[in-house]
Amino acid sequence: MTIERRKFGRTGHQSSAVLFGGAALGPVDQSTADKVLDLLLEYGVNHIDTAASYGDSELRIGPWMKKYRNQFFLATKTGIRDYAGAKEEIHRSLDRLCTDHVDLIQLHALFHPDEWEQALSAGGALEACIEAREAGLVKFIGVTGHSWSVATMHKRSLGRFNFDSVLMPWNYFASQHEPYASDFKDTWNLCKERDVAVQTIKSIARGPWAAGVDKSHNTWYQPLQDEKDIQRAVHWLLSHDGLFLNSVGDVNLLPLVLKAAENRGKRPSRKQMDDFKEKAGLVSIFGI
């Protein structure tokens, strides 16, 4: 049994419902990374999402592509906002990933209004992405972001350019948080109308790391760690038709996420999720 596949928006690619979040490879050596590859192949994960800024992640994925390039939809990101810098970073990513093209290039963490204006205006990073697409170096273009404002910013981005995918936070706590929940649903509905793929992050976030707490995992938020809690969070997220779950930034938690996705049942009830929220102590990862 492998993880179910869903159409990744207008790209037409049948991607595994769980996308592998390449941030998990940033701090690890190649031997550890290769064990992750074995795990992805075992569960049928066929979509990798990384970024130029994720430490050594692209360098760890590069050796995989020499043998398995045709088995993966490969996505990376540029966080540079100007044309020249983004163009240079895209070419650097191709070199690091050992490939002549990526399937998806994404404008990374684009939610600050000033950076948004620069990236999407003349002489901005979007021009470099479009040029790369015309040259066959990338196939599709997306946009990603964090923070409570990102859903609104993505809607604004879709008004400026016909992006092929968006990426934004979504978990049970976020679904109960207004106005973010309404903003997310508005943007998601627009994406449905335009056949834009919607990727989600922070599905197993418990909350921010508390001051003085030992950060036991390679995640910038404190993650859920109990297997049943992770299962509940993953089952809830994947019960939303069409959404994709970008896995987790820690290789040690990855097996639990993949196992939960493989054995997905029906959507937990509202009461079950409310009880889970209270038991697990879910709180805002961005502040209220």
pLDDT of residue 193: 98
Residue 39 belongs to some domain of the structure = yes
- Cβ atoms of 163 and 129 within 8 Å: the answer is no
pLDDT along the chain (288 residues), means of 10: 93 98 98 98 98 98 98 98 98 98 98 97 98 98 95 98 98 95 98 98 93 84 95 96 97 97 89 96 82
Residue 208 belongs to some domain of the structure = yes
pLDDT of residue 286: 82
Give the span between the Cα atoms of 211 and 214, in whole angstroms: 9
**Domain range spanning residue 228?**
5-280
pLDDT of residue 250: 97
Residue 19 belongs to some domain of the structure = yes
Residue 210 belongs to some domain of the structure = yes
Residue 202 belongs to some domain of the structure = yes
DSSP string spanning 34-101? HHHHHHHHHHT--EEE--TTSTTHHHHHHHHHHHHGGG-EEEEEE---BHHHHHHHHHHHHHHTT-S-
Residue 52 belongs to some domain of the structure = yes
Number of domains in the chain: 1
What is the SS3 assignment for 241?
A: coil
Q: How many CB atoms lie within 10 A of CB 236?
A: 20
**pTM for this entry:** 0.97
Residue 288 belongs to some domain of the structure = no
What letters, b where the CB count within 10 A reaches 16 and e where it falls short, cover 187-225?
A: bbebbeeeebbbbbbbbbbbbebeeeeeeebbbebbbbb
DSSP string spanning 155-199? HHHHHHS--SEEEEE--HHHHTSTTHHHHHHHHHHHHHHHT-EEE
* Domain containing residue 149: CATH number: 3.20.20.100
What is the SS3 assignment for 208?
A: strand
If we measure between CA atoms, which residue out of 146, 17, 19, 5 comes closest to residue 74?
19
| 243: Cα separation from own chain's centroid | 11
Angle at 76 between CA 184 and CA 263, to 5 degrees: 60
Give the span between the Cα atoms of 266 and 203, in whole angstroms: 17
What is the SS3 assignment for 146?
A: coil
Give the span between the Cα atoms of 15 and 18, in whole angstroms: 8
- Cβ atoms of 158 and 166 within 8 Å: the answer is yes
pLDDT of residue 228: 95
Q: How many CA atoms lie less than 13 Å away from 44 in the CB half-sphere?
A: 13
What are the structure tokens assigned to 243, written together? Answer: 């959404």
pLDDT of residue 264: 81
Residue 285 belongs to some domain of the structure = no
pLDDT of residue 1: 63
